[in-house]
Amino acid sequence: MTRKSQTPSRRLPLALLPTTDGIRQCETRLAFSASLAAAATADLLQDGLGSHDVSDVPLPMDSSGTLSPASDHSLLDQAADLRDTYGLTGDGQTIAVIDSGIAWDHEAFTSPGQGVGIGPGYRVVGGWDFAEDDADPYDDGPAGYHGTHVAGLLAGQSSELSGMAPEADLVALRVFDDSGEGSLEWIESALRWVHDSQNDFEHPITTVNLSIGAALNDANRDYAIGILEDELQLLHDDGILVFAAAGNYYANDEITPGTTDLLYPASSPNVIAVTSIDDGGQISDFAQRESGILAAPGEGQGSAVPDHVFGWDGTVDDYAALSGTSMATPQVAAATVLIREAMIASGLEPTADDVLQRLRDHASEHQDAETGLTYYSIDLQSALDGLQPSGGSNQADDGGEGETAVSASQVTTDHQSQQFTLDLRDGMSLNVRYHDGSEQAYLLTDQDGQIFLDAAGGSDRLEILGSVGSERLRLSADPNSDVESRLIAGGVEIVLRGFEDVQFDGGGGSDRATLYDSSGDDLLESRSGDAVLSGVGFRFDVRDVVRTYVHATAGGNDAAYLYDSDGDDTLVVQPGFTSLRGTDSSGASLFQSAYGFESVSAYATAGGHDTAELYDSVGDDVLSISPTRSMVSSGGYQVSARYFENVTAESASGGTDIAKIYSNESESQWHVAAGLTQWTSVDGATRIARGFDRVDAFENFQPVSLPLGFTPQAAPVPLDVSDQDDERFEDATRRVFEQLGF
């Protein structure tokens, strides 16, 4: 079964579809295995083949919320303590789950104010189903549940479950179909997807969870490694931490009992392997092991499962307990998310190696009683020693205990217009200029990691001068929004209230700005490093910021204009989401995105070789492509891309979609295959349409017959029209050319 009800947040066209080497169920408890070519079979496991201390089926959780006894070794308990003490939740990062998909409508993935769903603003911000080649990676039955369970341990949050990092975003990459079949090629494509899409969301993908693996032998080792290792190396070079389950066949009599060899890719040098420990802190007797391996609780771990697991009842709120290294892996993966968050909040700019080294340096050393091998259990509290993350909740009430005695309402004498300058370049200072010309300077000091600036009434302007470090700015123009404006700098959170006009100069470093619109009609103008969001009564201006995310979700008819850098840029367009990613001439990576705008226009005029990727909606879409402008429109939105050298359009989400390709060259080339039409200009620029129900082609205002062999999904409109119809066609296409900028 396949669910199609939500607009995807990210679409990536991939031709890497499986032809052989499927994934099969290997036993009744729905663990998965991959069959490799001929006799060279590598069993691809999620929960392993062993049954000893590994649940044969998901077991319903009791009212206590977990079947795993509480102990000093509980990593979930450690994470809960740190959440209460330091406010560490995983916010600001995205975790990719390569598995059987995620039941994104489960209550454990509810987004405050949004509910459940998939896409921007939800807990599961996007993904891809490589088994069915669509944008809905739902954890379908009858075989699905494993990915949802893993995702719950990573970031679930409900009255029954508290995952490790409950405010981290999730990406679901489905590499198993409804019956548990799949292929290594799907896993390869998922890894490549992470590399290509790592910066396409509001928060970057920092971590990958792979609770799957293959038991290699001499016959299949080169085959499996040859498929996956280059992508794993790519993610390692990207600085993305990839965690994989060690495997569960140590005590299995059907394989060599006592074999310690790790599954692949856990055995890869580009991956961090994780094994399971029991309630006493000893390695689980089913778990693979090696010297120096990281370990976390993996027995009887309770988490979310899809509705079909215990019988459909229409309410997606079921939980189950599972055992295996698959359950330990997401806990360690999410632990690094929390450590990274704490390091950033302390004013550091940690690399992946920094995060992993801190995790290892503060882990507790143990010796396996059976093999004598050394392994390490995670000690999160110790890993935070010496760091100074901001404490407690990010929310506070005016006048409440613990607020810093610095806010504009406390330092101004009236509520008329004021000019505030917040200088972060050398310490943290504030200068206030009043409407009468007088000024007052302040040195800001935080209390419990927070400072509050409140401009009270009037029309107030705030200028922020950023440091050479990394700052994170969030601004909201809607006074009724749950989103509070704030700035995080040097491990301190500065809450901003009552400012209508804000200018932020980044000053260098890996700065990030997230802007939210008003309920009126708003305008975004975004260039590489700079963005201005404005509307009635407000203006947000950010400069020298490498990553900007702008949301238009509060209402109104909003328009966005995006402009490229002087390097090579890639535009990605889909309903509700547009991003432009590039690298300027200095080598700096730049990213800008627009969510929820009714109209988006993107321009590639600054230089470089620029590419646009356009994707359809679940409704009926019309795509018009000319040499200089490409436009896709559907109910409620319209996006255009001008002057991009290469344009690719994909139709895969549903509806009856039509593509119209216009050429003003008589010597251009057309290439047609099943489901694909490509136009190539004399200067090498390309326009490609894939999967459309109908493709119409035009040269110099005249319809042209596409080459023989074209087999579209639906029959094309015949081109043998009368002379009168020819004139009508020419008039119509001439008007289209004018609209497209000719």
CA atoms of 62 and 319, how far apart (whole Å): 9
Are residues 58 and 321 in contact, defined by beta-carbon separation less than 8 angstroms?
A: yes
Instruction: State the residue for tokens 């390709």.
Output: 661
- Residues in CB range of 19: below 8 A, 6 or more apart: 185
- Which token pair is 577? 């989401």
Q: What angle do CA 66, 114, 621 make, to 5 degrees?
A: 125
Q: What angle do CA 493, 498, 504 make, to 5 degrees?
A: 60
Which amino acid is present at 142? P
CA atoms of 29 and 571, how far apart (whole Å): 43
Paired residues of 34 in beta bridges? 23
Mark whether 482 is an active-site residue.
no
CA atoms of 675 and 133, how far apart (whole Å): 14
Mark whether 279 is an active-site residue.
no
Helix (H) or strand (E) holding 214: strand 213-214
Which amino acid is present at 710? F
Helix (H) or strand (E) holding 371: none
DSSP string for 225-292: HHHHHHHHHHHHHHT-EEEEE--S-TT-TTS-TT--PPPBTTTSTTSEEEEEE-TTSSBPTT----TT
* Catalytic site residue from 106, 146, 308, 362: 146
Mark whether 326 is an active-site residue.
yes
User: Virtual CA dihedral for 248, 254, 255, 259, nearest 10 degrees?
Assistant: 60
* Catalytic site residue from 183, 326, 601, 663: 326
CA atoms of 701 and 599, how far apart (whole Å): 27
For the purposes of burial, counting CB atoms within 10 Å of the CB of 441, is it exposed (0-12), middle (13-18) or buried (19 or more)?
exposed
CA atoms of 2 and 710, how far apart (whole Å): 29
Helix (H) or strand (E) holding 736: helix 723-739
* Catalytic site residue from 47, 99, 569, 584: 99
Residues annotated catalytic, as ranges: 99, 146, 326
